[in-house]
Amino acid sequence: MTVITPPETTIAPAIRTPRPTAFWRLKGFPLIPVLILVFIALVAIFADVLAPYDPTIGSLARRFRPPFWQEGGSMAYLLGTDHVGRDVLSRLIYGARVSMVVGITAVLVAGGIGTLLGILSGYLGGWADQVVMRLTDTWLALPALTFAIFLAAIVGPSELNIILILGLVYWTRYARVIRGEVLSLKQREFVRLAIVAGCSSRTIMWRHILPNVINSAVVLATLMLGVVIVTEASLSFLGVGVPPPKPAWGLMMADGKKGLLVGYWWLTVMPGLCIMLMVLSANLLGDWLRVKLDPQLRQL
């Protein structure tokens, strides 16, 4: 029974997992992007301490104050105020939290559903594979934003529902990639040995397959983070995103876009910069991880 080599050691050299301690010394390590992501995460965690004002309360009497360096701006509202008179800086700080939470959990939901279905479909084959693959095909044929609008109409808008919607819209990419990985893993020695040794399907999927697809899932996750955050902003543009007055970067951008033509540039440029920095960093990190962890992954 216990003759099987632990899969970890078997596959470690095969996928060239770098030793974690050497991460920062590796060539091309995206130091700046990682620092940016860490910074955003810290801001998100300590938003309560950092933000000077309540991000959801404003007063129409002080709407559209410009940032402090512009004429009419003041040190009281460093980055100005928005159309309801709320402090933009505070909203950006809390917005980091919303964006991080929405982005990461939506990616986890998508990744969770996709990885699970991908493994089931790839490993079990047969009807399970058929069901998952037909479902994926149908899903992919449905325009994502339209799909999201309908889902939003059914479940109603709230932060939680937006997360579920984004997860439900984007799981197919995981399912496809993971299924492909599993199909090739199935041909590998250690999986065959496990089957011969009489391990249950559940054990094999859980103990032998899952650890080996995690790399791909992680790479996909960093790349998907950006897609999810930008989609969340687009949903706000179409009026079905995170509901106001919640401070979310995407919502701030969509709300502030009108101000762009009117000279209230800070309303949309500030959250735009935040989204850009976060998504760009996630993408750069993802690209690097992909090269390091999984050079074979081409469908991304």
Partner 1 sequence: MATPSPGPTRRGVLGFSAAAALGIVPDTARAAPDGQITIASHVSLAPTWFDPAETAGIITPFMMLYALHDAMMKAMPGKPMAPCLAEAWTVASDGLSYAFTLRKGVLFHNGEPVTADDVKFSLERYRGASAKTLKERVACVDVHDAERLTIRLNVPWPDFLTFYASATGAGWIVPRKHVQQVREDGHKKAPVGAGPYKFVSFNPGVELVCEAFEGYWRKPPAIKRLVFKVVPDEATRLAALQRGEIDIAYSIRGELADELTRTPGLSVKAAVGSATFWLYFADQWDALSPWHDQRVRLATGLAIDHKTINQALTLGHSHLTNSVFPENFDFYWQPPAPVHDPARARKLLAEAGHPRGFEAGDYYCDASYANIGEVVINNLREVGIRMKLRPLERAAFFKAYAEKKLKNVVQGASGAFGNAATRAEAFVVKGGTYVHGSYPDIDAAFVQQAAETDRAKREAILHRLQQLVHDKAIFAPIWQQAFISGVGPRVGESGFGLIEGFPYTAPYEDLTLKGKA
Partner 2 sequence: MKQYILRRIGYSLLSLFLLSLTIFLFVRVTGDPVALLTEPGASQEDIEAMHRQFGLDQPLWVQYWHFVASFITGDFGQSFYYRTPVLDLYFQRLPNSLLLAAVAMVLSLVIGIPSGILAAVRVDGFWDSAGKLFALLGLSLPQFWVGLVLILVFSVSLGWLPSSGSGTVWHLLMPAFTLGWYFAAAHMRLTRSSMLEVLGSEYIKLARLKGLPEALVIGKHALKNALIPVITLAGINLVVMINVAVIVETVFAWPGIGRLLYEGVTFRDFPVVQAVVVIGGSMIILVNLLIDILYALIDPRIRLES
Q: Does 261 bind partner 1 (CB under 8 A)?
A: yes
Among partner 2, partner 1, none, what binds residue 64 when CB lies within 5 to 8 Å by partner kind?
A: partner 1
**Interface with partner 1 (CB under 8 A), residue from 7, 111, 157, 180:** 157
Residue 114 and residue 175 in contact, taking contact as beta carbons nearer than 8 Å: yes
Among partner 2, partner 1, none, what binds residue 141 when CB lies within 5 to 8 Å by partner kind?
A: partner 2
> What Å distances lie between residue 258 and 83, 95, 246, CA to CA?
10, 19, 19
Instruction: Give the integer Cα–Cα distance in Å for 247 and 232.
Output: 13
Mark the segment that binds partner 2 (CB under 8 A) among 62-70, 110-118, 214-222, 281-289. Answer: 281-289
Quote the Cα angle for 88-90-96, to 5°.
Answer: 100
Mark the segment that binds partner 2 (CB under 8 A) among 61-69, 109-117, 212-220, 222-230. Answer: 222-230
Q: Does 183 bind partner 2 (CB under 8 A)?
A: yes
DSSP assignments along 127-148, one per residue: HHHHHHHHHHHHHHHS-HHHHH
Cβ closer to partner 1: 70 or 158?
Answer: 158
- Provide the minimum distance between the beta carbon of 193 and partner 2 in the complex, in angstroms, as a whole number: 21
| Burial degree of 188 (CB within 10 A; 0-12, 13-18, 19+) | middle
**Residue in this structure with the two tokens 């479940």, named with its chain if needed:** 155
Tokens for 16? 């060239």
- Provide the minimum distance between the beta carbon of 101 and partner 1 in the complex, in angstroms, as a whole number: 17
The DSSP secondary-structure symbol of 158 reads -
- Provide the minimum distance between the beta carbon of 62 and partner 1 in the complex, in angstroms, as a whole number: 11
Cβ closer to partner 2: 5 or 138?
Answer: 138
Q: Does 149 bind partner 1 (CB under 8 A)?
A: yes
Instruction: Identify the CA nearest to 17 among candidates 294, 280, 238.
Output: 294
Cβ closer to partner 2: 108 or 142?
Answer: 142
Among partner 2, partner 1, none, what binds residue 3 when CB lies within 5 to 8 Å by partner kind?
A: none
Q: Does 287 bind partner 2 (CB under 8 A)?
A: yes
